[in-house]
Amino acid sequence: MKKAEIKLEVELDDNNVPDTIQWSSTDGQNTESLPTKAMFLALWDGQYKNSLRIDLWTKDMPYDEMKRFFYETLQTLGDSFLRSSGGDPMAEKIIGDLRDYCAHFAEKMEVLEQQN
């Protein structure tokens, strides 16, 4: 059995606000610690049937980048749900609704205009 480790290191200021976030993985091509400005970590607790989350971002994470991060995260959550659904037609319909919302979010937050 293969094992991999994902390591997160967060440096906090005196007010417990993240100054830096670093991550590394033993299963990638580059195992050295890499910087990031934000992260969402979601875990499922099978015993209590609820999710556990850690949402962190550094003080220097620009608002425009945060909007893009939210948009891309919503899009990829849809992708993950579709992969896990096993071809359920209702899941495909719901993800279509999510994609519509993502387009609405991107338009209202001017996410895609900033990319061009």
Domain-wise residue ranges, the chain: 1-60, 62-116
Judged against a pLDDT cut of 70, whether residue 115 lies above it is answered with no
Judged against a pLDDT cut of 90, whether residue 13 lies above it is answered with yes
Query: How many angstroms separate the CA atoms of 21 and 8, rounded?
Result: 7
Q: What's the pTM value of the predicted model, to 2 decimals?
A: 0.87
User: What average pLDDT does this structure show over 49-65?
Assistant: 97
pLDDT averaged over every residue in the chain = 94
More confident call, 115 vs 47: 47
User: What average pLDDT does this structure show over 39-64?
Assistant: 97
Question: Considering only CA atoms, which of 4, 78, 70 is closest in space to residue 39?
Answer: 70
Residues across the chain: 116
Query: How many angstroms separate the CA atoms of 110 and 116, rounded?
Result: 11
Exposure b/e, 35-63, CB count within 10 A at least 16 = b: eebbbeeeeeeeeeeeeeeeebbbeebee
